[in-house]
Amino acid sequence: MRCASPRPEVVMAKTRVPQYNLPCEPVPGQECLTRRGWREGGAMELGIFDHLDRREAPLEEFYESRLRLLEKYDAAGFYSYHLAEHHATPLGLAPVPGIFLAAASQRTRRIRLGPCVYCLPLYDPLRLIEEVCMLDHLSHGRFDFGVGRGIVPYEMAYFNLHHLETEEIYREALEVILQGLTSDVLEHRGARYVYRKVPMVLRPLQQPHPPLWYGLGHAAGAEWAATNKVHVISNAPADGAKSLFERYREVWERKHGGGTMPRLGVSRHVVVADTEAQAEALARSNYAVWFANLTKLWRDFGSTPIRFARDFDEARQRGIAFAGTPARVREELEKQIAESACTYFVCRLMFGNMSEAEASGSIDLFTSEVMPHLAKLSPPRA
């Protein structure tokens, strides 16, 4: 029986987000390249990250507005659209990301699409295998498969899961899912999941399976991702991201000895306007709304919110948010890319209570006056 709210023994005040301690065994099949799945090199690629955080609009119009923006991203040439999964919070209004991504697949033609990430402990692995296969075909091989365990313990508690048990569930779920995506028959007997001779009628379009993505926040994750040839995106400031990417590259060289490396991405809030004042006003007000959404569950349960810049000015000072004229943003993002040593730059262009018109204006300036310059940059080599 599900409980109406997290039990005290499940979620404790002043708790902090647990770090992942991921398995370090190679993921089966990831040694193969996938269609449009690996960086071919030569130019910096840019992507989009979206929480689908709540703003003041009817829900039907909210979703339609985001889909229209996705058409913009597609036309502009962004590499991939990464969608967060959150539950019972205004931070994310796509608690079932596959549904929104299925709709997006029918409104776009080139941009890749994927959750960043699926919270695996909340899914039955067999059902998710089938969902991934469907999305890969609906998108004509544009699906990116982001995996994780979920970082907000309160969200897990609403599903009667203690955050300390989710890692074990995540490990086993990923093992089952990768076996199912790469086998004709699923056979598994584990601590939590048992499947006996399940025929895998649906197969992914991308072989052996859609590219894996992972949210990177610590050295153990970098080691696992490099070992398994997994693409990564980090929210860490430039110096922290650079350290993680250095670890990734060290492990990559030791395990694989070369070859085309998966993307090493950073994610940043970006606002562009005709004047500094316009850009900063838009960024400050909407970052405040976004941060309130981000920390709502933590505050509701009297806990210390996850560590993140509390306002736009702090975020700018830490180098995780940028706002200004096209010239200023070009200069600052070029510096950010160099300092972080990333090979993939992911933008958060729509957040907080931004209207579609406000976001579109910023996006248009970014894609016409900033993006072409950044795309000419050469990503650092391993």
Pairing of strands 80-83, 112-115: parallel
pLDDT in tens, the chain (382 residues): 333 334 333 333 333 333 333 333 333 333 333 333 334 446 899 999 999 999 988 999 999 999 999 999 999 999 999 999 999 999 999 999 999 999 999 999 999 999 999 999 999 999 999 999 999 999 999 999 999 999 999 999 999 999 999 999 999 999 999 999 999 999 999 999 999 999 999 999 999 999 999 999 999 999 999 999 999 999 999 999 999 999 999 999 999 988 899 999 999 999 999 999 999 999 999 999 999 999 999 999 998 877 889 999 999 999 999 999 999 999 999 999 999 999 999 999 999 999 999 999 999 999 999 999 999 998 876 5
State the Cα–Cα distance between residues 228 and 128, nearest whole angstrom: 20
Is residue 294 domain-resident?
Answer: yes
Is residue 84 domain-resident?
Answer: no
Is residue 316 domain-resident?
Answer: yes
Residues 6+ apart with CB under 8 A from 167: 18, 20, 21, 149
pTM for this structure? Answer: 0.90
Residue 31's SS3 state is coil
Owning domain of residue 342: 62-78+218-382
CB 54 within 8 A of CB 293: yes
State the Cα–Cα distance between residues 242 and 236, nearest whole angstrom: 9
Is residue 315 domain-resident?
Answer: yes
Alpha carbon distance, N-terminus to C-terminus of the chain: 50
Is residue 327 domain-resident?
Answer: yes
Is residue 297 domain-resident?
Answer: yes
CB 353 within 8 A of CB 287: no
Is residue 304 domain-resident?
Answer: yes
CATH code, domain carrying 266: 3.20.20.30
Is residue 348 domain-resident?
Answer: yes
Domain count for the chain, please give it: 1
